[in-house]
Structure 1
């Protein structure tokens, strides 16, 4: 499953630089699939291909947030999600709305970081 940041977040920002996929964004920040990845295009929720450089609206205006489709729980990089490791208030937790297998997370990691 992906990780999400609860409303207990104190906005310290410790998690953001730890993410190997650049899946964590500051509150109010736009996000892009291409941020921190090698993606040039990606299929959107309608199945249409879009440029990975297109900006997307923030997922939160209040707290830091994690883009579920970019989160791999650090599988293929670390033994455990690094955002959770460094969070001083334990607000980076499993997202029950995005349950995924280790195989899917590894495949996502490979997709996000494929050799250009």
Structure 2
């Protein structure tokens, strides 16, 4: 059974570097890293079936992310906003908390507590 013809997937050098960085960086969100691996593997002319088998995911998932990349390029691999209440904190505030917890230790303690972070 033949599938639908797919749009060509050709990566620029910049896209290749970006995707390889996302796929190999330890601090990249795992969902984004997996999507980058999917696109890189599909760009090497591998089939959805072989990519899915190697990554332990479904062929539909491989096809979905490949097609989103072809339509929207790297921006298509990021998570879309989800339904629910609007966010009450900004991305900058989230980044500040993450950086503080990873790079600083509070005085007289071994790790941050929620209350100590909130005070700061």
TM-score where L is the length of structure 1: 0.25
- Relative to its length, the structure with more strand (as a share) is 1
TM-score where L is the length of structure 2: 0.25
- Relative to its length, the structure with more helix (as a share) is 2
Structure index of larger Rg: 2
Higher relative contact order (CA 8 A, sep 6+): 1
